[in-house]
Amino acid sequence: MIAVLKSSATKEQIEKLIAWLKSKKLAVHLSEGEFCTILGLVGDTSQIDIGLVEGLDIVASVKRISEPFKRANRKFHPDDSVIDICGLKIGGSDFQIMAGPCSVESKEQILGIAKSVHASGASILRGGAFKPRTSPYDFQGLRADGIELLLEAKKQTGMPIVSEIMNANHLPMFEQVDIIQVGARSMQNFEMLKELGMTKKPILLKRGFSNTLQELLMSAEYIMAGGNNNVILCERGIRTFETCTRNTLDISAVPMLRELSHLPVVVDPSHASGIARLVKPMAMAAVAAGAHGLMIEVHNDPQSALCDGAQSLTPEQFSETAERIRKVREAVAA
Amino acid sequence: MIAVLKSSATKEQIEKLIAWLKSKKLAVHLSEGEFCTILGLVGDTSQIDIGLVEGLDIVASVKRISEPFKRANRKFHPDDSVIDICGLKIGGSDFQIMAGPCSVESKEQILGIAKSVHASGASILRGGAFKPRTSPYDFQGLRADGIELLLEAKKQTGMPIVSEIMNANHLPMFEQVDIIQVGARSMQNFEMLKELGMTKKPILLKRGFSNTLQELLMSAEYIMAGGNNNVILCERGIRTFETCTRNTLDISAVPMLRELSHLPVVVDPSHASGIARLVKPMAMAAVAAGAHGLMIEVHNDPQSALCDGAQSLTPEQFSETAERIRKVREAVAA
Amino acid sequence: MIAVLKSSATKEQIEKLIAWLKSKKLAVHLSEGEFCTILGLVGDTSQIDIGLVEGLDIVASVKRISEPFKRANRKFHPDDSVIDICGLKIGGSDFQIMAGPCSVESKEQILGIAKSVHASGASILRGGAFKPRTSPYDFQGLRADGIELLLEAKKQTGMPIVSEIMNANHLPMFEQVDIIQVGARSMQNFEMLKELGMTKKPILLKRGFSNTLQELLMSAEYIMAGGNNNVILCERGIRTFETCTRNTLDISAVPMLRELSHLPVVVDPSHASGIARLVKPMAMAAVAAGAHGLMIEVHNDPQSALCDGAQSLTPEQFSETAERIRKVREAVAA
Amino acid sequence: MIAVLKSSATKEQIEKLIAWLKSKKLAVHLSEGEFCTILGLVGDTSQIDIGLVEGLDIVASVKRISEPFKRANRKFHPDDSVIDICGLKIGGSDFQIMAGPCSVESKEQILGIAKSVHASGASILRGGAFKPRTSPYDFQGLRADGIELLLEAKKQTGMPIVSEIMNANHLPMFEQVDIIQVGARSMQNFEMLKELGMTKKPILLKRGFSNTLQELLMSAEYIMAGGNNNVILCERGIRTFETCTRNTLDISAVPMLRELSHLPVVVDPSHASGIARLVKPMAMAAVAAGAHGLMIEVHNDPQSALCDGAQSLTPEQFSETAERIRKVREAVAA
């Protein structure tokens, strides 16, 4: 971290600041120039609140040289993290497709979709039991019953399951869920992240719709700081001025996150576009850009889906998409 | 709500859709034109999930005529809501200033600031006990101890207090807190909003940094749907491309929210700009635009604040700002 | 176009509005419901200024059913447009790579790069002669001399050339330039678009960094309205809150533009990311998403480039990228 | 400017870089730390292209200490600039209201509005002759005839006039126009800015709808670099995710621009909101925040306006707004 001091800073003020920084166990490297004084700070600067230093009267500006995240940082963990999900691996050269309905609606529905996507190449079953909805009057999910139905589908197909949590109090219900999803709106629910950090569950952490990659990695850091390193990052589209699509898939997030972090990176092309016919090209693009996995909404009857039908593929469309994904993966790996 | 159907829709499909809509207790008004068929839906359309209807194959587009919020809607509640806080009123022609430190740090600090801002014109004391921080390594607040110190300051000054909640499990600790603040990052923590809706506490609901006014009002609706109508809306700046300021105060939110809703509207110029020397002009602008209240950060020693020192006023600056606010209020009312 | 009238509209007002709409040669379909009156407008509604109608006191809201662009609209031109550039074709199943330096710097530089990228698979040479720079003190391009050097490179390699125009007065200098580029900052320079519409030159129209796809297509419409149908659309990244990358590539723009319009769609991964090491994955993603072409910056010595060196590939990196692009194209087509 | 070099930089590379920087007439202050090497650059760094330096292999990051604009910078011109418009002054303690129709439509219209707004407190007449419209099929303004009509209104009322230019070739037509407006879409039409810099005309420079304040000031710098210091900055709303208002007025731009620059700052509440009933509160807020002037759309018959009727005040509403503005100005000055 580098702090540039104002030329008006007095010697006494500078010494006071240096003493404070040293009390934080940082080595301070002072460089007095003719036009400004620069402090170079060496040590664990991730524990320094940059806003505090910027707020000081004698400080003109502060710049981090190293990122404020450590456990998620590739610099301190050069190899790709590979996360194990009931024997399936994701990360490094291991690729997985998660597929299933936006919402679990009935036993028949979830079992039908699970068997179908399993046969076409999906290895993990997704399904929402708790649904964050903008309106209190919209369908809020089957909740506990939805989790039960997912577990039944897991039993019958052998597929691990992933489902979203909205309240840390619900953790006991997620005991047999294989991957716990943190949705975009909860990415900065820091209290919940802390509790997830105290479990050992793989966490699928979705990027908030207006959050930066650094903020996403800081939220991963919250989970990892508690001792849980099983974090999977998920790009699911950001809010932009474009109105043709529900969100805008930030495809550059894939190589950028892989550069900044060792954690696996997954893309959700269904929420990113909100339009079923864009899912195939977006999924192909995500794989071409280096994604470790995909999360795709599939519904046996999108026209009657209780939620997000407009963005769900039919099982037939999913099968065709999965086939195309295989081809692009070969082109990338070749 | 109006649904425009595609010209390819068959008579049978249209009839099926109409039957479904009628099952939702809506009156359906059919208008077959030469170029498209239009369905006008009358009734409580707030219970209809617009995404579901848009997702239907035969539907070209859907447009709400009425807003999807009811309890927060001025149409059904033409008069300004006035909320009572221990005898103080906010809303309508009643205006209040909330002031205090970003974080409660010590007994001496909070008592000193409380007395000082009270003397200069603030009527409600703000202070953070639970702090949402981007980094797990930053100061997270004094938590339960912070609430205790606020209560002590309330006892000594008689000022009602407002403080942020981050976890519905903490509600018992907020029993004597007069206004519970929902921070920008929690605006769409729907599970927590539901629990706050089951209390009778005044809730200060801050707008998320990338949320629209309609989304803010839908979150107010979550609280009100539970039976708690004591919601105060707070504009605290949105994320834009501008980098000179931390956020961008959306000043037009003030008259726009007052038009859409009957709830009181408060502005937080401290978080909106992130720069102490902008707080006075932003506070004056908010009052000129019609705000029912202000929330301003004040710190006795901003240089040593544990959080957000850069945006805090000194007690002297606050006093000067409060004086200026009075003058602008007179000009607005005159 | 559908106009929803307020319930307060009088019969006389409605009749006056209908008469005005009919004077615009529109058929008006009136539907009086119990809760509102709806006007369905049939005919060439692209000539109606939606803002004017929305501004009327009796109008509650207006919704376009058909897009406001005609000549660029796939609905009226179902087949892909294929544009001929000196015998090379772009659009439909024809794919081209444009490569070259951000700025033309010297004869030696442009000739060297041109020969090198030609050998590795680029078919069109890009090079900036007029450079839009944020600062008046930055390098503004070799201007007329730059065009001369591009023409020399065209002569020696046989490659068609593409270069940016910043002022319609410069058109005579672009007489032998094969594709005229309209930069992101000029996308809504309507006066210049009109003049380009009066030529027959292929125009590469870049999307403005905060413009929607509809606005891009309206700018294409400006050119086409003048009689020039040779428009190539280019996605080059939009401004978002992300700071790791210079811009954010909107990859969904590729399939979305192809759905809305018949015009060829090209992607510029160099400007979209601003980081050389992201160009290869972004180029692969663009091809996987269905782009008809790519525009890639290549510099023989990025470290000494007078402009945008950070995002330029070396000729070796370009060759490797072009090879990978071929593989992804095969996977897409297979 | 400070450049942080990577620890991998060799002594030879560092020396080469220092030599290059010295060739740019910069003094270089080298500081070798244990963890990185820092170069402090003193001199006229506004001529250094920051992207070039950032692109170098050995550079980890670059930070400007001083802004890249000089002539517009308050640091080098501490006193407010006051600009003279036919004897009227704007800037410092001088405040002016510009009012008039979005588009000049007829002699009767412009004369009627001019007389009316003059009587109510406007000192400068605005009116569009050349109109930038998103669609080529929308009304494009009366062009040369519109300028003639404005000149006629100027003659009859004595009010100076302001009108937008869209093409530098039109400059001869603007010879008697008192303030030339550069619209939001032209803010980065650098070729036109250069030509305006060679005149002595006051220029009203509007901020682009997604541009930062620094970019606005760099565009002012383009004009001033040519020798024309008569630049008036105008905040007119930026694009955000909010859909209730056409744009979002960035009210903090007012105090921020006044801090960064000595140029006068004007606000256009009509375009900023796009809704007539928001113009009064936004105008009051702008004055409370310290604006040197306002630009307000007024139309005698907003329902029939050929452009932007929805945001125009009637003469009566304008008169009431002007009265309220006077009151807020007094409160600010008191």
Interval C43-96: pLDDT, tens = 777 777 787 788 787 888 888 777 889 999 998 999 999 999 999 999 999 999
> Which positions 266-305 of B are in contact with D (Cβ < 8 Å)?
272-273, 277-278, 281-282, 284-290
Q: Note the pLDDT of residue A145.
A: 97
Residue in chain B lying closest to A69 (CA): B135
Q: What does DSSP assign to residue B45?
A: G
Tokens standing for residue D201:
């005309």
Neighbours of C88 (CB within 10 A): 14
- Percentage of chain A modeled with pLDDT above 90: 73
In this structure, are residues A36 and A54 in contact, taking their beta carbons and an 8 Å threshold?
Answer: no
The mean of the pLDDT values for chain C is 93
Tokens standing for residue C300:
């023989």
Helix (H, G, I), strand (E, B) or coil at B190: helix
More confident residue, C217 or A2: C217
Q: How far is CA D38 from the centre of its chain?
A: 36
User: Given CB atoms, is D65 within the 8 Å cutoff of chain A?
Assistant: yes
Tokens standing for residue D241:
């995710």
Interchain proximity B4–C65, CB inside 8 Å? yes
DSSP track, B46-75: GGS-HHHHHTSTTEEEEE-SS-S-STTBGG
Which member of C47, C185, C194 has the closest CB to residue D188? C185
To test the contact with chain D by mutation, choose from C48, C171, C190, C311 the residue with the greatest count of D C-beta atoms within 10 A, namely C190
Residues D155 and C318: their CA atoms lie apart, in Å, by: 63
ipTM of predicted complex: 0.92
Which member of D259, D277, D285 has the closest CB to residue B285? D285
Residues A285 and C254: their CA atoms lie apart, in Å, by: 11
Q: Note the pLDDT of residue B231.
A: 98
**What are A120-134's pLDDT values in tens digits?**
999 999 999 999 999
**Least Cα separation, residue D135 to chain C (angstroms):** 6
Bridge partners for D205 per DSSP = D182, D233
Size of interface A-B (CB pairs under 8 A): 120
Which residues in B lie closer than 8 A to residue D241 (C-beta atoms)? 210-212, 238
Q: What does DSSP assign to residue D270?
A: H
**What are C96-154's pLDDT values in tens digits?**
999 999 999 999 999 999 999 999 999 999 999 999 999 998 889 999 999 999 999 99
Nearest to D328 by CA among D267, D285, D282: D285
Residues B323 and C176: their CA atoms lie apart, in Å, by: 68
In this structure, are residues B130 and B146 in contact, taking their beta carbons and an 8 Å threshold?
Answer: yes
Contacts of A among chains (3+ CB pairs under 8 A): B, C, D
pLDDT exceeds cutoff 80 at D55: no
> What's C232-289 look like in SS3?
EEEECCECCCCCCCCCECECCHHHHHHHHECCCEEECHHHHHCCHHHHHHHHHHHHHC
Size of interface C-D (CB pairs under 8 A): 119
**What are C244-286's pLDDT values in tens digits?**
999 999 999 999 999 999 999 999 999 999 999 999 999 999 9
**What are B250-299's pLDDT values in tens digits?**
999 999 999 999 999 999 999 999 999 999 999 999 999 999 999 999 99
Interchain proximity C68–D166, CB inside 8 Å? no
Q: How far is CA C278 from the centre of its chain?
A: 21
Residue in chain A lying closest to D238 (CA): A241
**What are A15-34's pLDDT values in tens digits?**
888 888 888 888 887 777 66
In this structure, are residues C1 and C63 in contact, taking their beta carbons and an 8 Å threshold?
Answer: yes
pLDDT exceeds cutoff 80 at A307: no
Q: Note the pLDDT of residue A35.
A: 61
Residues D64 and A188: their CA atoms lie apart, in Å, by: 31
Residue in chain A lying closest to B132 (CA): A190
How would you classify residue D130: left for phi > 0, otherwise alpha for psi between -120 and 50, otherwise beta?
beta
Tokens standing for residue C86:
């000196």
Which residues in D lie closer than 8 A to residue B214 (C-beta atoms)? 243-244
Bridge partners for A28 per DSSP = A41
Which member of B33, B61, B239 has the closest CB to residue C241? B239
Tell me the average pLDDT across A235-256: 96
Q: Note the pLDDT of residue B35.
A: 61
Helix (H, G, I), strand (E, B) or coil at D84: strand
φ and ψ at residue A96, rounded to 5 degrees: -135, 145
User: Given CB atoms, is B139 within the 8 Å cutoff of chain A?
Assistant: yes
A4-18, A311-325, B35-49, D86-100: lowest mean pLDDT where?
B35-49
The tens-digit pLDDT sequence of chain B (334 residues) is 888 888 788 888 888 888 888 888 888 878 776 666 788 887 777 777 787 788 788 888 888 777 889 999 998 899 999 999 999 999 999 999 999 999 999 999 999 999 999 999 999 999 999 999 999 988 899 999 999 999 999 999 999 999 999 999 999 999 999 999 999 999 999 999 999 999 999 999 999 999 999 999 999 999 999 999 999 999 999 999 999 999 999 999 999 999 999 999 999 999 999 999 999 999 999 999 999 999 999 999 887 777 777 889 999 999 999 999 999 999 998 7
Helix (H, G, I), strand (E, B) or coil at A73: strand
Which member of A169, A225, A239 has the closest CB to residue B210? A239
Classify residue C42 as exposed, middle or buried by CB count within 10 Å of its CB (0-12, 13-18, 19+). Answer: middle
Which member of B68, B189, B308 has the closest CB to residue A51? B308
Tokens standing for residue C163:
């270069």
Residues A272 and A238: their CA atoms lie apart, in Å, by: 7
In this structure, are residues A317 and C277 in contact, taking their beta carbons and an 8 Å threshold?
Answer: no
User: Given CB atoms, is B161 within the 8 Å cutoff of chain A?
Assistant: no
Residues D311 and D282: their CA atoms lie apart, in Å, by: 12
Size of interface B-D (CB pairs under 8 A): 132
**Least Cα separation, residue B222 to chain C (angstroms):** 27
Residue D256 neighbours by CB under 8 Å, 6+ apart: B244, B245, B278, D213
pLDDT exceeds cutoff 80 at C309: no
Residues C238 and A248: their CA atoms lie apart, in Å, by: 10
Helix (H, G, I), strand (E, B) or coil at D35: coil
Q: Note the pLDDT of residue D220.
A: 98
User: Given CB atoms, is A169 within the 8 Å cutoff of chain D?
Assistant: no
Which residues in B lie closer than 8 A to residue D215 (C-beta atoms)? none
φ and ψ at residue C219, rounded to 5 degrees: -70, -35
DSSP track, B70-111: STTBGGG--SPP-EEETTEEEBTTB-EEEEE-SB---HHHHH
In this structure, are residues C261 and C74 in contact, taking their beta carbons and an 8 Å threshold?
Answer: yes
In this structure, are residues A285 and A272 in contact, taking their beta carbons and an 8 Å threshold?
Answer: no
**Least Cα separation, residue B210 to chain D (angstroms):** 7
User: Given CB atoms, is D31 within the 8 Å cutoff of chain A?
Assistant: yes
In this structure, are residues B302 and B312 in contact, taking their beta carbons and an 8 Å threshold?
Answer: yes
User: Given CB atoms, is B173 within the 8 Å cutoff of chain D?
Assistant: no
Residues A127 and A296: their CA atoms lie apart, in Å, by: 10
In this structure, are residues D97 and D270 in contact, taking their beta carbons and an 8 Å threshold?
Answer: no
Which residues in D lie closer than 8 A to residue A38 (C-beta atoms)? 2, 31, 38, 40
pLDDT exceeds cutoff 80 at C36: no
In this structure, are residues B56 and A303 in contact, taking their beta carbons and an 8 Å threshold?
Answer: yes
Helix (H, G, I), strand (E, B) or coil at A158: coil
> Which positions 238-267 of B are in contact with D (Cβ < 8 Å)?
238, 240-245, 248-256, 259-260
Contacts of B among chains (3+ CB pairs under 8 A): A, C, D
